[in-house]
């Protein structure tokens, strides 16, 4: 039996606790919020963020970070991306050398343009940091709906160890060495999902959604490869797969936020109505910083930033995207 500390008691942390205890592992959930811990102890359920997913009586809960980390084989970092650095910093004094940490948050830090695994490695340099990502809504994982994801690790040994822990008949796990590519796809798909949501809110149809998904993955791939990611990653589960599900599903908080903005709500109003952290909002500015740093053209993400932070009308953003200079779809394909 593997001892696992789940750092973060939101919907994703709760769903993974459900999965991992069903896999026969011993899980301790940590939350910094005493009321949240009290709720779990009384109901074995996150009634606010993942109602209906009841955790095993064997699941433990704590608001003490040291006890959450003590004697654990694996730590799952499941806090929202904007809290990853502060949480990792609070964990650092209690983390043993070589501790396996697997991050499931998706985002890029504004200002530093660092991915979540890079942040964790900077704050906890003695840890062995991996990532888990793919098309995987917590609402479906917690109900045992078949899901497929990817674990990215520095070594094949660590990847296979984590693969064995997470793998089940409803949760298929692939492994990859391309941590950077996985994280870039995971973070930037949230920004594209905001655009897809805006299109839905404006009343546009399937043609528009397909265009945003297809051209969105082109932007993500260009940047990811320029940064050192592998192009094959962006055609896989953590690239195209995650982008499709996030742009198409009402489980997606990024799409829901975009829909509200497309309907005329302000960013603050939309975030308040979604009632959860909208990761794409925090990744959007960082994506533009990376676009400029690596000299990569990212027109969709540029327009998303203008809508979110400059008050641009979403319908005008769509028109400007449609009327950009004429292009060849794929410049690497030669003419006869």
Q: What is the residue-level pLDDT of the chain in tens, covering all 336 positions?
A: 899 999 999 999 999 999 999 999 999 999 999 999 999 999 999 999 999 999 999 999 999 999 999 999 999 999 999 999 999 999 999 999 999 999 999 999 989 999 999 999 999 999 999 999 999 999 999 999 999 999 999 999 999 999 999 999 999 999 999 999 999 999 999 999 999 999 999 999 999 999 999 999 999 999 999 999 999 999 999 999 999 999 999 899 999 999 999 999 999 999 999 988 898 998 999 999 999 999 999 999 999 999 999 999 999 999 999 999 999 998 889 998
- Token code pair at residue 124: 């906890």
From CA 287, how far away is CA 306, in angstroms rounded?
13
Residue pLDDT, tens place only, 165-198: 999 999 999 999 999 999 999 999 999 999 999 9
Residue pLDDT, tens place only, 126-139: 999 999 999 999 99
Contacts of 3 (CB under 8 A, 6+ apart): 25, 26, 28, 71, 72, 73, 74
Active-site choice (72, 100, 106, 189): 189
CB 63 within 8 A of CB 69: no
Buried b (16+ CB within 10 A) or exposed e, 150-159: bbbbeeeebb
Q: For residue 265, indicate whether it is catalytic.
A: no
- Token code pair at residue 304: 């998303």
Q: Which residue segments constitute the domains of the chain, with CATH numbers given?
A: 3-177 (3.40.50.720), 180-322 (1.10.1040.10)
């Amino acid at each position: 039996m593997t001892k696992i500390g789940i750092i973060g008691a939101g919907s994703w942390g709760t769903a993974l606790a459900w999965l991992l205890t069903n896999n026969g592992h011993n899980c301790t959930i940590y939350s910094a919020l005493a009321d949240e811990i009290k709720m779990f102890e009384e109901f074995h359920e996150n009634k606010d963020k993942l109602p209906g997913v009841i955790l095993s009586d064997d699941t433990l809960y704590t608001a003490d970070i040291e006890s959450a980390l003590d004697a654990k084989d694996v730590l799952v970092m499941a806090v929202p991306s904007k809290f990853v650095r502060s949480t990792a910093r609070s964990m650092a004094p209690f983390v043993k050398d070589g501790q396996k940490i697997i991050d499931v948050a998706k985002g890029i830090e504004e200002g530093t343009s660092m991915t979540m695994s890079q942040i964790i490695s900077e704050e906890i340099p003695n840890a062995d940091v991996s990532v888990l990502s793919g098309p995987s809504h917590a609402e479906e994982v917690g109900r045992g709906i078949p899901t497929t994801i990817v674990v990215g690790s520095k070594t094949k040994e660590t990847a296979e160890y984590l693969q064995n822990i997470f793998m089940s008949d409803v949760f298929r796990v692939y492994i990859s060495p391309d941590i950077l590519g996985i994280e870039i796809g995971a973070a930037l798909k949230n920004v594209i999902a905001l655009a897809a949501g805006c299109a839905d809110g404006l009343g546009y149809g399937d043609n528009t959604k397909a265009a945003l998904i297809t051209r969105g993955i082109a932007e993500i791939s260009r940047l990811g490869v320029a940064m050192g990611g592998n192009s094959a990653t962006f055609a896989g589960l953590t690239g195209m797969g995650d982008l499709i599900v996030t742009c198409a599903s009402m489980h997606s908080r990024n799409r829901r936020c975009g829909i509200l903005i497309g309907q005329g709500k302000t960013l603050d109003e939309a975030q308040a109505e979604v009632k959860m952290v909208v990761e794409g909002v925090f990744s959007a500015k960082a994506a533009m910083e990376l676009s400029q740093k690596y000299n990569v053209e990212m027109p969709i993400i540029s327009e998303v930033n203008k809508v979110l932070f400059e008050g641009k009308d979403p319908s005008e953003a769509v028109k400007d995207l449609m009327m950009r200079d004429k292009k060849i779809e794929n410049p690497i394909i030669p003419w006869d």
